[in-house]
Amino acid sequence: MSGARLALLVCGGLAALTASVAVAVTIGPADITTVDVWRSVSAHLGVGDTALNPLRDGIVWNLRMPRTLLAAVCGAGLALCGAVMQSLLRNPLADPFVLGVSSGASTGAVAVIVLGWGAGVLSLSAGAFVGALLSFGMVILLSHSLGATMDRVVLSGVAAMQLFSALTSFVVLTSADAETTRGVLFWLLGSLSGAGWADVALCSLVLVGVLVVCLAHTTTLDAFAFGEEAAANLGVRVGRARLVLLCATALLTAALVSAAGAIGFVGLVLPHAARALTGSGHARLLPVTALTGAVFLVWVDTVARTALDPQEIPVGVVTSLIGVPAFVAVLYRSRRQT
């Protein structure tokens, strides 16, 4: 019964995602068809030979494909992080961006570049992970000492986000070497332009790993519905579960931010949308959240790069335009439930 429904939802989601990627890649100033996409992809995967000219093949394989796939991975990852954080912190407004974790990751990544520890995806992600853990730790300590109510957690997140955003801006603007930095806007708002296959590979790897960890904890996350003590009374080792899951979400956030900057509100909005489809059981919620997040960000990025053609809007601007009204709606709804 419920297993079959989940299988249906996941298959439907995967089909929608594949179709979205295939179509999104064709949209843009260069005239590309889905047949071109198929030819290019099959040639690069070693099945069939390409009849495509190198320029069009380059646009598909080196520009649009990694960018679209990175959008899918970021959307899935951020939505997953949001769903886990919302359940663990019992806060419907929790999200890597709102809680300042993305900002901390940005600061960490920027610091790695400026201190000259290398600018490869791995060292960037490592720096971002440290930054994400620092900001997450700060938010948790601050909100715990304030009483950990919903609004205090969010206010602690605001404080962390402001602090780390300021640090990021400061470091980027004062660093002499503007060439190696990707600009303040990239780190604060997020952008998928300049995505490469290395980014896609690393982020996918981390996403799969974190997804497996989260799926192993679905009943644990269910147990948090009535709070930490209730979870402990249901046999959950609360301290350990919280540590594992918060570190996993920080790691995933870090990998995504070092590849695409701090894209906001995806993790806030998508879990609520997915809950409307699946109910609140995490065994169904987490995979469906990840899939809807992926489809969502593929289309949002397509809009961001084509709406004002040839000007490109940072994808984070578009997600914020969608996310802030959703934030207000969630806030409004939570008012009647407490």
Partner 1 sequence: MTESDHTGLHADRVSRRADGGFVLDGVTVAPRPGETIGLLGPNGSGKSTLLRLLSGVLAPSTGAVTLDGLPLPRFGRRAVARRVATVQQNAHTQTELTIRDVVALGRIPHRRPWSPLSATDARAVAAALERTGLTDRADRFWHTLSGGERQRAQIARALAQEPSELLLDEPTNHLDIQYQLDLLELVTGLPVTTVIALHDLNLAAMYCDRLLVLRDGRAVAEGRPAEVLTPSLIGEVYGVRAEVTSDRGRPVIRFLRRAPEPADASDPSTRPASS
Closer by beta carbon to partner 1, 50 or else 334: 334
Give the whole-angstrom CA distance, residue 281 versus residue 141. Answer: 28
Contact by Cβ (8 Å): 20, 299: yes
Q: How far is the CB of 277 from partner 1 (least distance, A)?
A: 13
Name the residues that contact partner 1, by CB under 8 A. 2-3, 87, 90-92, 150, 215-220, 222-223, 225-227, 229-230, 232-237, 275, 279-281, 283, 334, 337-338
Q: How far is the CB of 90 from partner 1 (least distance, A)?
A: 6
Query: What are the φ and ψ backbone dihedral angles of 98, each rounded to 5 degrees?
Result: -60, -35
Give the whole-angstrom CA distance, residue 75 versus residue 79. Answer: 6
Closer by beta carbon to partner 1, 90 or else 152: 90
Give the whole-angstrom CA distance, residue 22 versus residue 72. Answer: 12
Q: How far is the CB of 286 from partner 1 (least distance, A)?
A: 12
Give the whole-angstrom CA distance, residue 59 versus residue 216. Answer: 39
Q: How far is the CB of 226 from partner 1 (least distance, A)?
A: 5
Closer by beta carbon to partner 1, 42 or else 280: 280
Q: How far is the CB of 68 from partner 1 (least distance, A)?
A: 31
Q: How far is the CB of 195 from partner 1 (least distance, A)?
A: 33
Give the whole-angstrom CA distance, residue 40 versus residue 57. Answer: 6
Closer by beta carbon to partner 1, 91 or else 302: 91
Closer by beta carbon to partner 1, 311 or else 337: 337
Give the whole-angstrom CA distance, residue 232 versus residue 242. Answer: 12
Residue 15 burial by Cβ neighbours in a 10 Å radius (0-12, 13-18, 19+): exposed
Closer by beta carbon to partner 1, 5 or else 115: 5
Q: Which residues of 245-276 are buried (b: 16+ CB within 10 A; e: fewer)?
A: bbbbbbbbbbbbbbbbbbbbbbbbbbbbebbe
